[in-house]
Amino acid sequence: MNQLLQEQYERLGISPEVSAFGEKIEASLKQRFEEIDARAEYNQLKVLKAMQDNRVSAECFNTTSGYGYNDLGRDTLEKVYASCFGGEDALVRPQITCGTHALALALMSNLRPGDELLSPVGKPYDTLEEVIGIRPSNGSLAEYGITYRQVDLLADGEFDYEGIRAAINERTHLVTIQRSKGYAPRKTLSVERIGKLIAFIKDIKPDVICMVDNCYGEFVEEREPIEVGADMIVGSLIKNPGGGLAPIGGYIVGKKECVENAAYRLTSPGLGKEVGASLGILQSFYQGLFLAPTVVSGALKGAIFAANIYEKLGFDVVPDGSESRHDIIQAISFHNPDALIAFCEGIQAAAPVDSYVTPEPWAMPGYDSDVIMAAGAFVQGSSIELSADGPIKPPYAVYFQGGLTWYHAKLGILKSLQKLKERKLVNLDALC
């Protein structure tokens, strides 16, 4: 590391010892980072072609209000998303407030009383428990007579194919497959594995709807789940595809019927996709999507950097430092609440926004334990921006993701390590 750069890191509170350790790890990752850059180039060209093919114009950035009839920018953006992700149709709206809302919308619009929902990959993300009715909540699927069944993964992380076969019945109408790990110590599912699972399910019951929760996975690989058989994919614009610029929003891409059902649920029967004003934020949606492949590549480098740093220090990391990557999330189990809290404090201290505040655990809605969350972001809640969070319960795991640039992600990891070093929770003496 050159002297000027070292001085800058020191001004940001990074000791020479921590910098040297980080530099050593980064040097070992050169080839992997080159592979990530090549994948980002492919996905960048894919997005660019989708925008060209669908004739994105300056007029697409014009604002609409009221009903939003004939909103050229909104309708064109949905065509771009359908092209990018391989679907027949898409719903991309600021009226979808977050990923959980998008998933709830997809489920509630495509399930009917008497249907059964199946998760063949274990328990879904915490915030979906109340949507489904695993934990009672007003308006849950359970209140509408929709039952739920799940098949846990096997101890080695593989699908329990026999258990899935036994679980599928005449009432099974929709299968939900969560790509990312959530707050679970399992591996993220690759697009290839998702494709094999869908093929198995469709062989048993061809008419079942296979939905993939695509949150945190967009543009990490060259292919998306629809390309391997998914009927519907769902995600948030304040995660990967928003590129850090989208201030709100979610998307549903897939079969035309599935998307239409979602549109009728979002607005009203008889109205569907025809209404929903864009309110002047379409430019950020387009720009964010255009930048997303590059932004995701930076976040991915940060996740791999973190995995290798903390694996070297003896902590449990998922994925490990050498595994192939299928989302941007890095889980690190500290088995110590103080280390979890120190890590999050470091991420917050590295932020461009609210770097001077200290995150504290709190009873966050939708979770069954206190959660600590570090997120000094330009868009509140954006998890494509550098952030970290984790529940204050064993194994005291932190879930790290994001970084609009690789350099910011790198600083965040070094800052987290600095906090742990200062509190004597790690020892670098033998590693630098």
120 in the same domain as 268: yes
Is 164 within 8 Å of 210 (Cβ atoms)?
Answer: no
Query: Does 284 map to a domain?
Result: no
The CATH code of the domain that includes 214 is 3.40.640.10
> Is 261 inside a domain boundary?
yes
What's the predicted TM-score (pTM) here? 0.95
Give the total number of structural domains in the chain. 2
pLDDT tens, position by position, 39-94: 999 999 999 999 999 999 999 999 999 999 999 999 999 999 999 999 999 999 99
With respect to residue 380, please indicate whether it lies within any of the assigned structural domains.
Answer: yes
372 confidence band (pLDDT: 50, 70, 90): very high
- Note the pLDDT of residue 182: 77
Quick one: what percent of the chain has pLDDT higher than 70?
99
**What is the C-alpha to C-alpha distance for residues 150 and 164, in angstroms, rounded to an integer?**
8
Answer yes or no: is 104 within a domain. yes
Give the integer Cα–Cα distance in Å for 415 and 421. Answer: 10
pLDDT at 328 over 70: yes
Do residue 256 and residue 355 come from a single domain?
no
Together in a domain, 226 and 81:
yes
In sequence order, what DSSP letters do the residues of 376-427 get, joined into one string?
A: --SSTT-SSSSEEEEESSTT-EEEEE--SSHHHHHHHHHHHHHHHHHTTS--
pLDDT value at position 418?
97
**Which of 279, 314, 341 is the last residue in one of the domains?**
279
Residues of the chain above pLDDT 90, percent: 94
Mean pLDDT of 6-20: 96
| Average pLDDT of span 277-298 | 97
Collapse the DSSP code of 226 into the 3-class scheme (helix H, G, I; strand E, B; otherwise coil) and give the result.
helix
At residue 140, the pLDDT reads 97
Q: Do both 268 and 304 map to the same domain?
A: no
Per-residue model confidence (pLDDT) at position 184: 76
Predicted pLDDT of residue 278: 95
In terms of domains, do 273 and 127 share one? yes
What's the mean pLDDT when you consider all of the chain?
A: 96
Domain holding 235, by residue range, is 64-279
- Per-residue pLDDT averaged across 251-268, rounded? 98
Give 385-416 pLDDT, tens digit per residue. Answer: 999 999 999 999 999 999 999 999 999 999 99
Ranges 75-79, 138-142, 296-300, 427-431: which has the least confidence: 427-431
Q: Is the pLDDT of residue 287 over 80?
A: yes
Q: State which of 221, 244, 279 marks the end of a domain.
A: 279
Q: Tell me, yes or no, whether 21 and 97 share the same domain.
A: no
